[in-house]
Structure 1
Amino acid sequence: MSANPHEALPIRLNVDDSDSPADVVDALFLGRFATGEQPYARSTTIDRVKPGVELLPPGGAVLRAARDDDRSATLAEGDGWTLLVSRWSRGADVTVTAVDAELAERILTQATEGAQDEPEPQPDDVTMGFWYVSPRRGPHRTTRRIAAGTWEEVRPNYTAPVADTMDRLMKVTPDDIAGRLLLLHGPPGTGKTSALRTLARSWRDWCQVDCVLDPERLFNDVGYLMDIAIGEDEGTANGRWRLLLLEDCDELIRGEARHTAGQALSRLLNLTDGLLGQGRNVLVGVTTNEDLERLHPAVVRPGRCLARIEVGPLTREESMAWLGDEFPGREEAVGRDGATLAELYALRRGTGPASIPDQPKGRDAGLYL
């Protein structure tokens, strides 16, 4: 074997017309690490980079810079180190290779110190995580601050039986948790997602809320599932709970899911009360438009659900109270069966029909998120 690592491990770069200039920059960056010339690597991800920040340490010389439609890549070097900055939208990945671990850590710190843009917190904001599989980086989590009203403010958006059940759910603490599955079902447009947003605010002192943007992939990709279920995210290491939100999972939890979804349903149930969920403070929140009768019995069996709430339209009386006395023609605008939250917001904005016709029970009436 050669005494020099870079002689024992040569690197060759092949490109074709499917590769972009940014892809070439990525490949060039790996050269010194692959040959062993710079055998130590450190990296970090910044979700929101402050405007005007270049993410380059003092004294660095830019070797390559490329920009694609969706991202840019910058390759820089200094004495004993090489740095790659890959930027997309407001975020960035920063990776450093160096001749020793201490230098790699120092250069990474110099390049990224103070770069994270922290928007001014608002009283009505709550921090939520968003998981998805990136084609370039695999399973990835980013965070956003979203607006969420208090439960007292949004309570009139729900019919009385639902609001009464939600009263109890909003006050849940870790000591009250008996089941690990939270199921909200009912027609579109009734405010299921809005309720979960408010729940994130009510639980924010003890629970980290993450929304999975590609749930159909989560339970069919074991690696992705393990990253979310087992990996330590911010807050979970010190005992905080996590609530994973899966929206519109009709195919996953309906009665025939054993045949149509394969192992996906089994993995969902395993995460809530099986071996996968053991020792992990993880709750799973699912929204679906399916009727309760169409859900798989294993999903709704006693003891599995922390809460199982059917979110329906407001009654006629509740709908007229929601619109208020000042709304012109509310008597004619609302049918005898009431209205969904989506319909009421459309009427208030003036974008809905002149009246909401009486509809057969269970008919879809629009979407409200």
Structure 2
Amino acid sequence: MDQRVSLREHGGYDDVGAQPWSHTANLERVRTEATLRPAAGTLVRSATEDNGRLAQLIVGDGWTMRVVRYQNRAATVSVTAVSAELAAALITEATDGATEPPPPEDHVEMGFWWHGPHGGRRVDKPITATEWAQTRANYASALHPRLSELMRLTPDDVHGRLLLLHGPPGTGKTSLLRTLAHEWRQWCQADCVLDPERLFNSPAYLMEVAVGADSDGDDKWRLLILEDCDELITPTAKQTAGQGLSRLLNLTDGLLGQGRDVLVAITTNEDLAKLHPAVTRPGRCLSQLAVGALPHAEAVRWLGTRQGVSSSGATLAELFALRNGTTTAPPESTDDTAGYL
């Protein structure tokens, strides 16, 4: 059936130019329960694409509305109507109360990916994220120049797509990534992949994460965070992770990475010398950072007392444990979203 005839039957436009007035709203942080449509009107078409995008066509007396919802909770609502007043009123009704307020200043929205029964799933969650000026004391002063340079990075400064953070557990690698997400929030969207071992063993899932999430036209760069991926980047990666290493390298500077504004951050407990040489070769890495314990003097200054601080210094987790009066330092989160939420 001709689409225009179908629309006419439901009260849509009768002739070309019969609804000359239009209005569009671009939304972020759309509530799951929001319908994004006026109370009046008839849904005449609905289509869900493979990348999770949902498009709907609604018509009413003298107006036609198109609603597109994206997987990252963004949406576009467009309406044409017989008058400017009607178009504006319909947009207002459809979008009123549809979005959540922006996160507080000490939070940043991070995406979380996982592979479900029906393919890749992504959800946005606000996470606590403190600015670099307030967290720099958590890291050894010898690292400050390189970390400050990394925090000030802009798209024009990107040379290399891989960011490696390596060091013992509890040294603050996850906290550093939260701070990085905060400092880059104006130009880069941070996404944490909860099942990286599956990501690089499933081409379809990898394509969805690397390509599909920005189908809403958002021009931000994306930072994919992969925690504790030792099996992907060690010298034995080819034997233990199959094609995982090759696909990781392809994402950072191969054909898959060409034209995609994607950065990949990997945390590992392994020493840099133990990583696969293909990962650390010049030009591939944006930065390679060894995140270690604070030296004794800096740890004492952080804690405000020498009591409990080893002569060799202390990790960030150990310092928090001493300050909170616990006997053991909590391990840095590695297997779920607890380190971010």
TM-score (norm 2): 0.71
Q: Is the 8 A contact 2:43 2:56 kept in 1?
A: no
1:284-343 Cα distance to aligned partner (Å, 9 max, x none): 11111111122111111111101000100111111110011xxxxx32311111111001
2:319 alignment counterpart? 344
Q: Which residue of 148, 161, 165 corresponds with 2:142?
A: 161
2:230 alignment counterpart? 250
| C-alpha displacement of 1:206 | 1.5
Code of the residue aligned with 1:258 in structure 2: it is K
Q: Go from structure 1 to structure 2 and tell me whether the alpha carbon gap of 1:56 and 1:105 turns closer, same or farther (over 3 Å shift).
A: closer
Q: Which residue of 172, 181, 184 corresponds with 2:153?
A: 172
> Does 1:198 find its partner at 2:175?
no
Q: Which has the larger radius of gyration?
A: 1
Q: Is the 8 A contact 2:110 2:189 kept in 1?
A: yes
| C-alpha displacement of 1:134 | 2.4
| C-alpha displacement of 1:349 | 1.0
Q: Go from structure 1 to structure 2 and tell me whether the alpha carbon gap of 1:236 and 1:303 turns closer, same or farther (over 3 Å shift).
A: farther
2:5 alignment counterpart? none
1:88-122 Cα distance to aligned partner (Å, 9 max, x none): xxxxx9887999xx989479979974463413531
Q: Distance in 1 between matches of 2:115 and 2:97?
A: 24
> Does 1:49 find its partner at 2:31?
yes
Q: Which residue of 188, 192, 196 corresponds with 1:207?
A: 188
> Does 1:335 find its partner at 2:317?
no
Code of the residue aligned with 1:215 in structure 2: it is P
Q: Is the 8 A contact 1:128 1:209 kept in 2?
A: yes
Q: Go from structure 1 to structure 2 and tell me whether the alpha carbon gap of 1:257 and 1:117 turns closer, same or farther (over 3 Å shift).
A: same
| C-alpha displacement of 1:228 | 1.9
Q: Go from structure 1 to structure 2 and tell me whether the alpha carbon gap of 1:278 and 1:94 turns closer, same or farther (over 3 Å shift).
A: closer
Q: Is the 8 A contact 2:36 2:67 kept in 1?
A: no
Q: Go from structure 1 to structure 2 and tell me whether the alpha carbon gap of 1:131 and 1:80 turns closer, same or farther (over 3 Å shift).
A: closer
Q: Distance in 2 between matches of 1:112 and 1:223?
A: 35
Q: Percent identity?
A: 52
User: Which 5+ residue runs of structure 1 have no aligned equivalent?
Assistant: 1-45, 60-77, 84-92, 325-329, 357-364
Q: Which structure exhibits the higher relative contact order, with contacts defined as CA atoms closer than 8 Å and separated by 6 or more residues?
A: 2
> Does 1:126 find its partner at 2:108?
yes
Q: Is the 8 A contact 1:315 1:337 kept in 2?
A: yes
> Does 1:303 find its partner at 2:301?
no
User: SS of the counterpart of 1:279?
Assistant: coil
Kindly tell me the number of residue pairs found equivalent between the two proteins. 282
Q: Go from structure 1 to structure 2 and tell me whether the alpha carbon gap of 1:321 and 1:98 turns closer, same or farther (over 3 Å shift).
A: closer
2:259 alignment counterpart? 279
Q: State which drifts further: 259-268 or 157-166.
A: 157-166
Q: Is the 8 A contact 1:343 1:352 kept in 2?
A: no
Q: Distance in 2 between matches of 1:106 and 1:203?
A: 30
Code of the residue aligned with 2:306 in structure 1: it is E
Q: Which residue of 201, 206, 228 corresponds with 2:209?
A: 228
User: SS of the counterpart of 2:209?
Assistant: helix
| C-alpha displacement of 1:230 | 2.2
Q: Distance in 1 between matches of 2:232 and 2:268?
A: 9
